[in-house]
Amino acid sequence: MKLTANKIAGILREQGYKLTPQRHAVLKVMAATHDQLTPEAIYERARAARPDIGLVTVYRTLDLLAKLDLVCRIHAPDGCHGYMMRRPVDHHHHLVCSGCRTVVDFAECSLSELEEKVSRETSFDITGHLLELYGLCPECRTTAVD
């Protein structure tokens, strides 16, 4: 089940948030791409639909969406300022191409065992994890070989 801009709009309402055209513009941008985008890039694109939107509002909307778990932050070894739509609603992780920055999701997550073990060893109460894989996508791999 894919999260469309409209579905998210509904979720926003349910949660008591107003559905402003600005928010909708950001939602459309997020839903329209499969790549991670920086706040700045989202701003640029949202302005196409709504030239009067402010960068600040983009930040605020992203914060809101992230709080509601509708978009997620993408981390990378050199920083972590990308956002993207949380496409599968369920738990998943990202595989990021070091070449073209394409992000692929994978649901595979065999960490429960690991978490239990680490939890036993450290007496931590483990509440979550961040897992991302890095590599080269088929295309970039080909290019790299040339």
Partner DNA sequence: GCGTAATTGAAAATAATTATCAATTATCTC
Partner DNA sequence: GAGATAATTGATAATTATTTTCAATTACGC
Binding stretches for a copy of itself (CB under 8 A)? 73, 75, 77, 79-80, 95, 97-98, 104, 106, 108-110, 113-115, 117-119, 121-138, 141
Q: Report if residue 57 touches DNA, rule: CB under 7 A.
A: yes
Tell me how many degrees the CA angle 101-105-110 measures, rounded to the nearest 5.
125
Instruction: Choose between 11 and 111: whose C-beta lies nearer to DNA.
Output: 11
Nearest to 101 by CA among 55, 41, 43: 41
Among 7, 20, 92, 99, indicate the residue that binds DNA (CB under 7 A): 20
Instruction: Choose between 44 and 105: whose C-beta lies nearer to a copy of itself.
Output: 105
How far, in whole angstroms, is CA 6 from its chain's centroid? 17
Gap between the Cα atoms of 139 and 133, Å rounded: 17
